[in-house]
Structure 1
């Protein structure tokens, strides 16, 4: 294939609908003929949920227009119809292709659909506003899978596994604890980061709600099919193309109404398939990266990579994020395998979204690949410096917990010698790979690998005691029923229900995320950490279904002190700009190390850091199995305790007059010096 130089800069590719006419534009510079095929219905589905016969539609020739674009204007109201492009190539092959820029599709993405987008807006959509946020430094991210959120069979969701579950307010457990979206509001997170919610391939939307249908009914969604369309398995009826649009917007509007912004996990590094993907039938060979021998590059590990450095591929990605941000009011994007996306594309994405949509849109991603790639300008750690986007901080992650799937230990899980790495992470990695702490996403676990509870159990050698079986690709390796294995397991066997906060496993888990929530940078926690969520030892649960992945809302009642601790830490962080510094200079000037060694990290945020109301704040992490005594600076007013081993928040729990503090084993402590506090002399008089 010759090099394609035609470039179209307009933002109107796809179908532009109006009641009086619809305009179709498709970029197919190598095609010798392109025909629009119109259909009255979605076609005939085969047993596997696919539509393979696209003949028989009303076929209308399109005009070769300019810059590689084919054009057709159709007069009349086409809402409710379906369409494909019939593309004839120079070698004589003819392919029917869905529109790469489709805004709506039939079930399982079989055909592109024509919809009146405004007609499917939920009531009040025009009044929807992004929740205010001071800046990226104020973000607290919460990674969540749509189906996991509401799939619990014992929770009172009406719309289990659906976008609409986020609209269900007032849900409570039997003791009156909030669950669902009210729980998210109570927890205090600022952003919900949703695993892929665009149309993906591996779940049969026609069978997902059929209890007798075979698997798979579950996937994380990292197998893109239609990048600009909401996923149909999360809609109440995937057969109605506009319904998933409305219900997705209802979800966004509901979260915005609770003061929570929405981040989309997007997968612009590969597609589920090349031959059956959204691009190859239209422009063969252009959208995919190849190695020096002409083979498809496979840095994604799934057989292909998108050639993001090519002008029209980059344009597609930039058009796509802009569309989601404007049409669906999305507030941020997490880029899967960002190492496979060239740095210029990511830079432009962040710049354009903040300049043209919202200055507080957050862009971040995984600064690595899934394998070798011929891409020269990979977006790896360090490449983000001063470019306006952030990267996952796996250096900090490893220092806190150790390895991701095995028994390797870090600071919070029983390892030694990681104190310096912890302190570097606390500083936002500004002396490692970041120019600013806002370039570091701090986290311990996400959907990949063992989740936090299971990782801590593994490092403690408690997997067998918990009854965990080996799970791979959604099945037990040695056979048997996965659901029965889950029901028989005892992941909380080591926790005394009367002394929850005394459990070593609980202490280590709280210390791990406590470090994340009190460090400089942007914190992210995985959904359910605050409920001691388990995935029953499954380190790769992408297709393990609800039995493994569903959030068990009964855990809120069972482990309420843990939830309260998380809520208190988040409240503390959001109330104090000292934890949200934005520059290297601020951190160097206001963060002083008190101790770093012997499984202890202690530091002080001093001199009203970030304009904080508290003059000085001391944070101590004790990863020892015994209490420690730490010398602290003299204070005329004494030190108040905001966080101890059992409680966390923004108010004083205790008062320390000495110049030494005792920190219990496997715990953290936050102390503060309030200039409006009581002097030592007056405190003495008051306590006599």
Structure 2
């Protein structure tokens, strides 16, 4: 081994050998451990010979990709001071581009002696290598050919949140099931494109662990929010263990015009609190990688998982930024959804939209070219920050989810909130030059009830999680329509189908960026489980054999309608401003009798019908004279007669009626029309001069 270079960090193959570089501010010695090809036998233990600042490095001539390795860090074991070095524990390289598998849970993985008095202050001398996956030297070079990013404009995006295994495990033709390759197989590409989505958002695919407490119950970490390696794709989604399978998936999705967005977890790691295992970051430099409490023995837990990553440390922030750039530049992904993103913006004085993490991303020439989506909350102090993130971040809008569900559940007084959600949630987002598309509108996501269960269950049914149904949200704003769970009652099933169509239509008529959960479009159910994080089972896998083809056709239709109507995809907020083209306002709220809404109408808790006319926000119409306005009626009550606005020189035509999913486009012959119960009707003004 020779000195090598301090950059780049990780294991880098240069054609002649491999350079290793590892950050640790407080270590006193850093060792590289080499293993046989099967990863079972440690063959060499080499000291990294140089330290440049806080980076330890060395170069091994003649080494090739495929070499299995790990790290051992020497230093003080003084938990009360925040230091938990234990060279008996083999560590994952935080920059490893591939891992051989997952930890096999054993007490030897702990830096302390399990069962000792004041356990985490004790020191364990067992070697953890037999139970640890190994890092693998990789050359990520890939022949991308003519791969080009779809670069979908945000105002044209339709996001499809999916789990790699859950989406493909039971699909009859996606091969090999449960893998990256299945995600981009021909039948899946056909499904995405026919559905009309533009961007596939994958639940965490960076290497993650199966929690020991779940394995003890016969469960697993299904969702993946326990990251072990920020550069390595999780081995469980690789059919042959090669990282180019992920690259092949991206290339195939790109060829179909589809973006790839990754759900990433940079707020915490899989190592938990002081009672957790020593797998990587804790052993390399606990005091640098984690935010510690005033009593340095303990961790700040703003994430609810036991620890919080310390992105205030410049080298930890560098790791996050290097990881993000790696997935963009080497793996060609098109964006990121940041789990518990409030944590990444929290400083000693609270949440700061000018925190180091946000500033680093906003000045980065690579990352400013991709989509950035924040989950705008965590459980820490001041953790709920919906609308507070800086541009160009988009944000998951839970107020949209809850507001729309409650309106269609007929909760009293919900019409004003629905109006707010239909027009982009301006109260939260119309500031700092942010567009209406900053609001990611969704009815469902991986966390909570799926769409079919919203209309099928009043209560959560999480017994399979082994927590006596105590886990998961209890307030789901759902309605079982008279029967809890599946039923053969024709009326109940028709009512459920009707409400699902109304909900989905509302989503695609709203200003903002729509997101749907994979499986909702075919009526998939999780049998009332609203917290399926541990269910790698039929509960979470999408059952394609029971696909609701009628509902699928309707969802395809409503997505296509949105794409055909730029009025629904404007970046500017609609605020009843006068349009430059004709002096008319861009937004009108009307009562069913056609008169303008008055304050007394908005304050009526029994208001269940909302009528809105939307027009282009400014300038000339975006598409000739074929349509200049849309009139939509959202009726959560009984059937009602609704006055149609004066069409002037044009003609109103009904394009969508969620109560009549197969209905044809038809002109409105007179000044009023009946809108069915619990339905949405949409009219387009055509031919106006």
TM-score with structure 2 setting the length: 0.80
Give the match for residue 402 of structure 2: 398
Cα drift, residue 68 of structure 1: 0.8
Quick check: 1:159 aligned with 2:159?
no
- Match of 1:284, SS state, is helix
Deviations 1:85-129 (A, max 9, x none): 2211145842432211111121226111012222xx3xx523222
Deviations 1:544-601 (A, max 9, x none): 2221111121333xx2221111111111112222111112377745233234652122
Q: Is 1:655 matched with 2:667?
A: yes
| Conservation of the 8 A alpha-carbon contact between 1:581 and 1:587 | no
Contact 2:457 / 2:485 at 8 angstroms: preserved in 1?
Answer: no
Matches within 5 A, 1:304-315: 304-315=307-318
Whole-angstrom CA distance in 1 between matches of 2:450 and 2:416 = 24
Rounded to whole Å, the distance in 1 between the matches of 2:198 and 2:568 is 15
Deviations 1:632-668 (A, max 9, x none): 233333201111125679x971100322232111111
Q: Which runs of 5+ in 2 are unaligned?
A: 78-84, 104-132, 346-352, 471-482, 579-585, 592-596
Q: Is the 8 A contact 1:474 1:542 kept in 2?
A: no
1:184-199 equivalent positions in 2, closer than 5 A: 184-199=192-207
8 Å Cα contact 2:204/2:223 also seen in 1:
yes
> How far apart are residue 265 of structure 1 and its match?
0.6
Aligned pair partner of 2:533 in 523, 532, 542: 542
Counterpart Cα distance in 2 of 1:388 and 1:27: 30
Tell me the residue number matched to 1:425.
Answer: 421
1:203: Cα distance to partner?
7.8
The alpha-carbon deviation at position 218 of structure 1 amounts to 5.8
Q: Does 1:509 align with 2:500?
A: yes
Q: How far 1:534 moved relative to its partner?
A: 0.7
Taking the aligned partners of 1:379 and 1:331, their CA distance within structure 2 comes to 26
How far apart are 1:346 and its partner, in Å?
Answer: 5.0
Matched, 1:473 2:473: no
1:201 aligns with 2:195: no
1:472 Cα deviation after fit: 4.1
- The partner residue of 1:638 within 639, 648, 651 is 651
Contact 2:657–2:679 (CA under 8 A) maintained in structure 1: yes
CA deviation string 1:509-553 (max 9, x = no partner): 221222111111111111111111110011111122221111121
How many pairs align? Answer: 594
Range 591-600 or range 416-425, more displaced: 591-600
Kindly indicate whether the alpha-carbon contact (under 8 Å) linking 1:622 and 1:628 is maintained by their aligned counterparts in 2.
no
Structure 1 residues 472 and 566, CA gap change in structure 2 (3 angstroms) = same
Partner in structure 2 of residue 234 of structure 1: 237
The answer on whether the counterparts of 1:632 and 1:661 sit within 8 Å (CA) in structure 2 is no
**2:634 & 2:185 partners in 1: Cα distance?**
39
Cα distance between partner residues in 1 of 2:361 and 2:514: 19
3-state SS, counterpart of residue 60 of structure 1 = strand
Does structure 2 retain, via aligned residues, the 8 Å contact 1:608–1:616? no
Cα 1:442–1:394 change in 2 (3 A) is same
Counterpart for residue 157 of structure 2: 139
Distance 1:543 1:325, change over 3 A: same
Give matches, 1:280-429, under 5 Å.
280-294=282-296, 295-342=298-345, 343=353, 344-348=355-359, 350-352=361-363, 355-356=365-366, 359=369, 361-369=370-378, 371-373=379-381, 380-385=385-390, 387-401=391-405, 410-429=406-425
SS of match in other structure, 1:289: coil
* Aligned-partner Cα distance in 2 for 1:654–1:491: 37
2:80 aligns with: none
Unaligned runs of 5+ in 1: 1-8, 45-53, 172-179, 402-409, 479-488, 678-688
Q: CA 1:388/1:357 → structure 2, altered by over 3 Å: closer, same or farther?
A: closer
Change (3 A) 1:432 1:114: closer
The equivalent of 1:126 in structure 2 is 145
- Aligned partners of 2:237 and 2:293: how far apart in 1? 37
Provide Cα deviations, 1:436-493, integer angstroms capped at 9, x if missing partner.
312211111101111121122225xxx7xxxx96524168869xxxxxxxxxx99552
CA distance in 2, matches of 1:187, 1:63: 56
Shift of 1:676: 6.6
Q: Find the residue that maps to 1:621 and give its secondary structure.
A: strand
**Whole-angstrom distance in 2 between the partners of 1:607 and 1:93:** 64
CA contact (8 A) 1:566 1:648 kept: no
- 8 A contact 1:288–1:305 mirrored in 2: yes
Q: Secondary structure at the match of 1:16?
A: strand
CA drift of 1:81 comes to 1.0
What is the Cα deviation at residue 70 of structure 1? 1.0
CA RMSD across the alignment:
3.0
CA contact (8 A) 1:635 1:673 kept: no
- Aligned-pair distance for 1:349? 5.8
Specify which of 495, 503, 516 is matched with residue 525 of structure 1.
516
Tell me how far apart the structure 2 counterparts of residues 659 and 293 of structure 1 sit (CA, whole Å): 72
Q: Distance in 2 between matches of 1:635 and 1:13?
A: 66
Asked whether the 8 Å contact 2:462–2:530 carries over to 1, the reply is no
SS in 1 for 2:487: coil
Q: Distance in 1 between matches of 2:679 and 2:145?
A: 47
Contact in 2 for aligned 1:507/1:667 (Cα 8 Å): yes
Name the SS of the counterpart of 1:458 in structure 2: coil
Q: Which residue of 1 aligns with 2:248?
A: 250
The equivalent residue for 1:175 is none
Distance (Å, rounded) in 1 between the aligned partners of 2:286 and 2:616: 61
**In structure 2, do the counterparts of structure 1 residues 632 and 495 end up closer, same or farther at CA, with 3 Å as the change threshold?**
farther
TM-score (norm 1): 0.80
